Amino acid sequence: MGKLDVTLCGITLDNPIIPASGTFGFGYEFAELYDINCLGTFSFKGTTKDARFGNPTPRIAECTAGMINAVGLQNPGVERVISEELPKLKKCFNKPVMANISGFSVEDYAYTCEKLDKEDQVGWLEVNVSCPNVHGGGMSFGTSPEAAAEVTRAVKAVTTKPVIIKLSPNVTDIVAIAKACEEAGADGISLINTMLGMRIDLKTRKPVIANKMGGFSGSAIFPVAVRMVYQVAHAVKIPVIGMGGVSSAEDVIEMMLAGATAVEIGAANLIDPFACRDIINDLPRVMAKYNIDNLSDIIGGVK
């Protein structure tokens, strides 16, 4: 059997499979279905400084080979995540977990990251810069190198654990943003977050989602994700986590060849709650098929 372990920002994972934030709750929900310790780790539900109900309903729209969501970062807020959610997780997951953090100002990001950085269970801080900048006219922090770098510097100033900046694909030059984050001290980059999509109900002639537009995810975006992972991984010296439409062990190998050290799996969990477990179990077969002895050896194998 081939070697599945990889090292992400100095922490060894048994395998590169990471359920993506927003598709795996706080972990214990899936632990009722299978032993989630088989995962490399997982990124828990996006957490903000204050509790959020999220966007109005309907929030979900189906589409060919994917889905659109506008949940709106519904979460109980960082204080309750620390006091209620992490203790539940500790009972069923004995590995470091990835904390996913969102914010609406630089100060929000710094506050929430500083709180979660102190938690023993947290191994990495995945900072989602796809949120609207309330002080910047509502544009996402991740749409400009300067804003993304500002968040990175603020978070790094108050934390000790690896900081991974999660980038939006809804930009003209994702490489420039990734490089700005690296220069500002980021320890890793994860990409891509959802693309922007929309569906219209032909009967009502109105948008299907109350928010009108939402995050488009699923297998349809996989080629875009592979392209962006390839571009960023070859432009920065820090590790990259690839995600976006991954739904099979073959997809994982493709992402790693593009340059990903680890691979997050999102929408597939919503279609099949056993998706990550089954992909992990299938990796040895696919590795043997393509004569891969060690997954670490193929990272960035396509030049």
Q: Which residues are catalytic?
A: 131
* Cβ atoms of residues 158 and 117 within 8 Å: yes
Ramachandran bin of 82, using left for φ above 0, alpha for ψ from -120 to 50, beta for the remaining angles: alpha
Count of Cβ atoms closer than 10 Å to residue 171 Cβ = 19
d(CA 131, CA 295): 33
CA distances from 185 to 97, 109, 127, 162 (A): 21, 15, 13, 10
Cα 282 off chain centre by = 22
Structure tokens, 245: 């439409």
- Please tell me whether the peptide bond between 253 and the residue prior to it is cis, using omega within 30 degrees of 0: no
Instruction: List helix spans (H) across the chain.
Output: 28-31, 78-80, 86-90, 106-117, 145-156, 174-183, 222-233, 249-258, 267-271, 275-289
d(CA 269, CA 25): 11
Residues 6+ apart with CB under 8 A from 209: 58, 59, 60, 61, 68, 70, 198, 199
With CA atoms as reference, report the closest residue to 47 among 24, 66, 74, 71. Answer: 74
